[in-house]
Amino acid sequence: MGLTIECTDLRKTYDGKVEAVRGLTLRIASGECFGLLGPNGAGKTTTIEILEGLLASTSGEVRIFGKAWTENPRQLREWIGISLQETRLSEKLTVRETIELFASFYDEPRAPEEVLEELQLTEKSDSWVGKLSGGQKQRLAVATALVGNPRILFLDEPTTGLDPQSRRQLWDIVRGFQKKGGTVLLTTHYMDEAERLCDRLAIVDHGVIIAQGTPADLIDRLGGHHVVEFQVSANGNSDGNASGDSADDADWRALPGVESVRRENSTVCLSVHEPHLTIPALLASVEGKGQRLEHLSTRQASLEDVFVRLTGRHLRED
């Protein structure tokens, strides 16, 4: 399997002081859909723009199809399609005019009509861009990336701000591109998006990769498959530190099947491998301490749990 995108020890320092990317190494194979996942300011946009040849790195090496950006940038540009995090396309051009414009830059573009059809924009092809909804604008942005018939698609937060249905539409487009042999690199801060869309992903925080692998692999490695959440209170007393203190945490950790313990306000979260062993033991333990269970739930572990586990923070704190 050939490598399509590689970068080695990438660093970017803005204005000599903001260290946005601090030593990032990626190997992305042909035909892969790779995700960069991370909170605001993690350095995702900086990384992807360096890979796209739009931003100079402070140090480190980038190769696309084995070529550096300095070798033959025009040829590389023919091969990649890009959607930036924020581009405002000209409002007073129609959708078709916009696509025709972008198609004209490539040696062998796809037929604009075909791309519009694929992105379900045919109906809107004579509307002004300024009159499109947010989701339609995002699809148009992806259409401008696809019309050049690229081999790699770079998408920087393609679904941010979209409703669930529009997001799913975009996922289908990305999968369709991948099915035809294309390679995709996208950034997102939606966990579910990364889980469903990406073959592999890297979790980025403060400019470094803190974990990398397939979504299932990451969840498996770092969190256990299930999460048990509960609250307890001492009998008849539910004020203050209701779920007991940290001393209790050692007890929870000792329960069978528990991988790790985490607290969020008054809720205790256990990462567990086998909930059917953990829960009976938990109930017994609560009773034994003379506490009362206020709340209990179990769910599948997600990348969010992985992230919180790794950083102690939530991915989206807004």
Partner 1 sequence: MATETTAPKARDAERVLPNESAQNAGAPKRRNGRWSGYWQLLKVRLLELKREPEVVFWVFVFPLLLALGLGIAFRNKPADISSVVVIAGEGAQKTVAMLENSPQHSGIRARVLERDAALKAFHFGKFDLAIEPQTDGGFKYYYDPARPESVLSRAEVDAALQSAAGRKDAIATSTEASSEPGSRYIDFLIPGLLGMNLMNSGMWGIGFALVEMRQRKLLKRFVATPMRRTDFLLALTSSRLVLMVIEVGLLLGFGVVVFHMPVLGSIFSVMLLGAIGAVSFGGIGLLTACRAQKIESVSGLINLVMMPMWIFSGVFFSYERFPAITQIFIKALPLTALNDALRATIIEGASLASQSGRLLVLVLWGGISFVLALKWFRWT
Ligand X SMILES: Nc1ncnc2c1ncn2[C@@H]1O[C@H](COP(=O)(O)OP(=O)(O)OP(=O)(O)O)[C@@H](O)[C@H]1O
Footprint of partner 1 on this chain (CB under 8 A)? 2-4, 30-31, 52-55, 63, 65-67, 74, 77-80, 82, 84, 86-90, 92-93, 97-98, 100-111, 113-114, 144, 148-149, 151, 180-183
Compute the radius of gyration of the chain from its Cα atoms: 24
Q: Does 161 bind ligand X (CB under 6 A)?
A: no
3-state class percentages of the chain: helix first, strand second, coil last, to nearest 5: 35, 30, 35
Interface residue with ligand X among 5, 33, 37, 46 (CB under 6 A) is 46
> 């090496």: which residue's tokens?
61
Contact status, residue 11 vs residue 58, Cβ threshold 8 Å = yes
Q: Which residue is nearest to ligand X, using beta carbons?
A: 45
DSSP 110: P
Contact status, residue 298 vs residue 187, Cβ threshold 8 Å = no
Q: Which amino acid is at 90?
A: S
Q: Does 313 bind ligand X (CB under 6 A)?
A: no
Q: Which of 97, 88, 92, 98 is nearest to 128 (CA)?
A: 92
Contact status, residue 302 vs residue 229, Cβ threshold 8 Å = no
Q: Does 47 bind Mg ion (CB under 5 A)?
A: no
Q: Which is nearer to ligand X, 107 or 317 (CB)?
A: 317
Q: Which is nearer to ligand X, 139 or 189 (CB)?
A: 189
Chosen from Mg ion, partner 1, ligand X, none, partner binding at 283 (C-beta under 5 to 8 Å by type) = none
Chosen from partner 1, ligand X, Mg ion, none, partner binding at 103 (C-beta under 5 to 8 Å by type) = partner 1
Which among 33-41, 131-139, 171-179, 261-269 is the span making contact with ligand X, rule CB under 6 A?
33-41
| Widest CA span in the chain | 76
Q: How far is the CB of 66 from Mg ion (least distance, A)?
A: 27
Q: Which of residues 216-245 bind ligand X (CB under 6 A)?
A: none
Q: Which of residues 106-145 bind Mg ion (CB under 5 A)?
A: none
Q: Which of residues 174-203 bind ligand X (CB under 6 A)?
A: 189
Q: Which amino acid is at 247?
A: A
> What are phi and psi for residue 185, nearest 5 degrees?
-125, 120
Q: How far is the CB of 181 from partner 1 (least distance, A)?
A: 4
Q: How far is the CB of 144 from partner 1 (least distance, A)?
A: 8
Contact status, residue 243 vs residue 268, Cβ threshold 8 Å = yes
Q: Does 46 bind Mg ion (CB under 5 A)?
A: no
Q: List helix spans (H) across 21-109.
A: 44-51, 73-79, 95-103
Q: Which is nearer to ligand X, 17 or 180 (CB)?
A: 17
Q: Does 87 bind ligand X (CB under 6 A)?
A: no
* Cα gap 305→97, rounded to integer Å: 45
Q: Which is nearer to Mg ion, 161 or 176 (CB)?
A: 161
Q: Which is nearer to ligand X, 245 or 318 (CB)?
A: 318
Q: In 30-172, which ranges are E strands?
A: 33-37, 59-64, 80-83, 152-156
* Cα gap 73→76, rounded to integer Å: 5
Residues binding Mg ion (CB under 5 A): 44-45, 85
Residues binding ligand X (CB under 6 A): 14-15, 18, 20, 38, 40-46, 85, 189
